[in-house]
Structure 1
Amino acid sequence: MQHASDPYDDEVLYDPPGPAPVHYAERALLGALLLEPALLAALQQLEAEAFSNAAHGALFSAMRRVPVPEPVRHQAGPFWVNAVLEAALPDARGLTVSYLHTLISACPLLTHAPAYAAIVRAEHARRTIRMHSGHLAQDAADTALPDRATSVLARADGLAQHLDELSGRFPAHPGSLPRTTVPPAPAGGTDEEVLDEERMLLASAAVRPSAIKEMRWLTADDFTLSAHGALWQCLNSLSHRGDPVDPVTVLWEAQHHGLLASGFAPDEVVTLMSAPAGSPEHWGTRVIERALLARAGEVARRIGAYTDDPATTVHQLITGSRRALADLTAIRTRWHQATAPLATPALRPGVAVSARAGPQRPGTTAAAVRSASARPTAGRTP
């Protein structure tokens, strides 16, 4: 006995879901143009790429290339239909005269052709926004990219520019925010090396508290582990008040912030703050860059959810996507502050060095730095 969930059930196998609403709009529009080619003059903003069906796009492209016949000649016979079919066949071999007549019968009203074209353009805008957000998500997750942060921001700029172009074609109106519920991000484990870099930042900042005031571009929300972010707040509080900073004072401040009540043991705090290696700026840059990439991935996932919701109008999609990109702006500004090269007087004029660069080579891991700092150097008494 077969059930609906059975993959070999004939009904499931041979009864695919119906086409999307835009498919009917494309057919109605093409049918209107086959009936009345003069309507093409009012569709200058529509391009062949806007059609979701490749054969429909090839047919519309052929209509653009074939001269529009005089009304009298068009009424005399199917000259326009035959010429369009001949021009479209090299790009859409499956087209037939029968299908073109099906398109003609699929058009409810000739006068509604502009409305059909607007539907086609709106659905194309949805697909292009989905494509841009997909590229943003891909770059945010691609660890093989040599300069991932720069690539991600370039993708975000491309998406923002595309939204600006679309906003000129689809002006916003009241109530343009999406109502889509964005699903939570999938749960995933935290890389131990990521946590190790955050620990290195906290420990090195405790040894060199003067760097904390210069690192206003880093916030507690940038940390992967919330407890590490809370310890960063403790360091900032001590630095802001001008109080002494060391493992013991940080522990005392952590108690006032309620961190110990949340399960962080006192010996864990003291041990963490007693193992510095490298510079705070170096590790801080790593932390904020990771936060930037995480935020970009979240923005891409949000926009992707908007585009996947068929109830979202193109106006809502544009407004919601721009609002989502705005959430990337603040952390982007702070990332630029963290990585901006500052002129150094000791260097030749025109040469700059990043004030955020640590003493480590690019790609050096926290574990390697800790291991190197623990090894005795020549002349040092073990």
Structure 2
Amino acid sequence: MPHTTDTVEDDGIDCVPAPKPVHYAEQALLGALLLEPARLADTEQLSADHFESHTHAALFTGIRTIPVPDPADHAKDTTWFTKILDFARPHAPGLSASYLHSLIQFCPRSQHAAAYAQMIRADYTRRLLRSHAERLALTATDPGLPDPAATVLVLADDFSRLLGELAGEFAPHPGSLPRTVLPAEEPRQAAEDYLAEERLLLASATAIPREVSQMRWLRAEDFASPLHAGLWRTITALVHRGDMVDPVTVLGEAQHRGLLVGALTPRDLMALVSTPAGSPEHWGEQILRRALLTRTHRVAAQIAAYTDDFANTPHQLITGSRRALADLNTLRTRYHHATTPAPAPTAGPHAHAAPLPRAASPPPQATPTAAQTRR
């Protein structure tokens, strides 16, 4: 009869992730402080918020709060241990006296307390940058915000100030840029309403080309559709050369630029730029705003990727994050130029002329009569 073995159910213990290096640094530091409370002087820049473990943070707060005992008295009894345990237990109910004694065993060298504290601060910096990047990404994709572009720019400024403060806490070293291999950039998945706004811009720009020359703040890379980006280059090229602009001339220039590929027919292309509605500047602002949010989300994902790479030092994380945020500056400048109202004229014959609203549709052209057509 063949030998059978009982099936042992998986209890999930093997799936528990191993503690991260900072866990051992926290244990070592607490053990050093419990063994030699005078080592607190080596942790002046450390706070309980820097600890990843809630239990360890409660213990550190107790060590900082309970007056340090006399070294001679501390060597003879455990009174200070008991006071720390009583202080921390309400915040960490599972804490036991045996764990405090174990922490001392986990400390290789109490004189290395400053190094353990530095490891804890470094890991806290990593988690802090990660949380700011996640908040930036979520804000850039939050449909409920009344003005998400303004909000993400404020968050980006706050992030930059934080990085400036952190830069002074960690010494620079060679190889300051992260070597993290960033994930390939995914193609932009534009919703239909985004594409509709781009089509309205192209048609309005064809109908009102005089406004296009004032829209140097909008670039082809701001468009979600490659075809629309190519048509924007087509229209702006005609405008900047001073050529005539209408659906037929746009078709001719688009043909020279190789845009008539695939199933796109000349009739389709002319129809795309033949139904204007509103002002080109209005639709251009909408497109630029969405491009700003898309770029912000991409920058946040880049910073998050840096923080996920534990090979990066705090200095590399800070430098890489500052470089990533700097990529927003050019787009931010263009966005402010597009959305900042021009100063009202103070003198001259046209000083009191009311400006045309940007979203106003162009005035309809009168249909010629049959007699006019014959003449």
Corresponding residue SS for 2:275:
coil
With over 3 angstroms needed to count, the CA separation of the structure-2 counterparts of 1:54 and 1:258, relative to structure 1, is: same
1:15-54 alignment, distance < 5 Å: 15-54=15-54
CA distance in 2, matches of 1:64, 1:103: 16
Taking a change above 3 Å as real, the CA distance of residues 216 and 179 of structure 1, as seen in their structure-2 partners, is same
Q: Secondary structure at the match of 2:342?
A: strand
Q: Deviations over 1:100-159 (max 9, x none)?
A: 011110000112111111110000001111110111011101011111101111111121
Name 1:128's counterpart in structure 2.
128
Which stretch shifts more, 264-273 or 126-135? 264-273
Q: Distance in 2 between matches of 1:266 and 1:171?
A: 61
Aligned partners of 1:281 and 1:356 also within 8 Å: no
Shift of 1:15: 4.6
1:161-196 per-residue CA deviation (whole Å, 9 max, x = no partner) reads: 111111111133220211222223556742111111
Distance (Å, rounded) in 2 between the aligned partners of 1:355 and 1:41: 66
CA deviation vs aligned residue, 1:61-101 (integer Å, no higher than 9, x gap): 11111111122222222232222212222222221110001
Change in CA separation of 1:260 and 1:329 when aligned onto 2, cut-off 3 Å: same
**Given the alignment of the two structures, is residue 244 of structure 1 paired with residue 218 of structure 2, yes or no?**
no
1:154 aligns with 2:136: no
Contact 1:48-1:57 at 8 Å conserved across structures: yes
Cα separation, 1, equivalents of 2:153 and 2:189: 25
* Map 1:34-113 → 2, pairs under 5 A: 34-113=34-113
Is the CA contact 2:140–2:152 (under 8 Å) kept in the aligned structure 1?
Answer: yes
1:357 Cα deviation from its structure 2 partner: 5.9
> Quick one: distance in 2 between partners of 1:238 and 1:168?
51
Conservation of the 8 A alpha-carbon contact between 2:203 and 2:273: yes
Is 2:189–2:224's contact at 8 Å kept on the other side of the alignment? no
Which deviations, in whole Å up to 9, do the C-alpha atoms of 1:238-257 show, x marking residues without a partner? 11111111111111111222
Decide whether the 8 Å contact of 1:172 with 1:319 is kept in 2.
Answer: no
Identical columns (%): 50
Cα gap change, 1:15/1:236 in structure 2, threshold over 3 Å: closer, same or farther? closer
Q: 1:275 to 1:56 in 2, by over 3 A?
A: same
Rounded to whole Å, the distance in 2 between the matches of 1:13 and 1:32 is: 30
Q: Which residue of 1 aligns with 2:322?
A: 322
Q: 2:270 aligned with 1:270, yes or no?
A: yes
- Deviation of the 1:307 alpha carbon: 1.2
In the alignment, residue 311 of structure 1 is paired with which amino acid?
Answer: A
Q: CA deviation at 1:272?
A: 1.2
Paired position in structure 1 for 2:254: 254
Query: What SS class does the counterpart of residue 288 from structure 2 fall into?
Result: helix
SS of the counterpart of 2:44? Answer: coil
Paired position in structure 2 for 1:170: 170
Residue 264 of structure 1 deviates from its aligned partner by 3.7
Partner Cα separation in structure 2 for residue 13 and residue 71 of structure 1? 42
Residue-by-residue CA offset, 1:292-339 (whole Å, 9 max, x unaligned): 000001011111111122222212111111111111111111111110
- Contact 1:285 / 1:356 at 8 angstroms: preserved in 2? no
Counterpart CA distance in 2 for 1:298 and 1:357 is: 33
The answer as to whether partners of 2:50 and 2:120 remain within 8 angstroms in 1 is: yes
- How many angstroms does 1:265 deviate by? 2.5
Q: In the alignment, is the contact (CA less than 8 A) between 2:46 and 2:121 conserved in 1?
A: yes
CA distance in 2, matches of 1:71, 1:325: 50
Task: In structure 1, give the amino acid aligned to 2:40.
Answer: L
Structure 2 CA distance, aligned partners of 1:212 and 1:186?
30
5+ unaligned residues in a row in structure 1: which ranges? 1-7, 348-353, 361-368, 377-382
> For residues 300 and 356 of structure 1, what CA distance do their matches in structure 2 show?
38
Partners in 2 of 1:83 and 1:355 — Cα distance? 74
Map 1:191-340 → 2, pairs under 5 A? 191-261=191-261, 264-340=264-340
* 1:345 positional shift: 4.2
| TM-score relative to the length of structure 1 | 0.87
> Structure 2, unaligned stretches of length 5 or more?
1-7, 348-353, 368-375
Separation (CA, whole Å) in 1 of partners of 2:176 and 2:79: 45
Supply the distance in 1 between the matched residues of 2:87 and 2:268 (Cα, whole angstroms): 75
Corresponding residue SS for 1:10 = coil
The question of 1:358 aligning with 2:354 is answered no
Q: Distance in 2 between matches of 1:339 and 1:85?
A: 59
Task: Give distance in 2, aligned partners of 1:218 and 1:31.
Answer: 59
Q: Partner letter of residue 269 of structure 1?
A: L
Q: Is the 8 A contact 1:341 1:355 kept in 2?
A: no
| Contact kept? 1:281, 1:357, Cα under 8 Å | no
**How far apart are 1:261 and its partner, in Å?**
3.9
State TM-score, norm by structure 2. Answer: 0.88
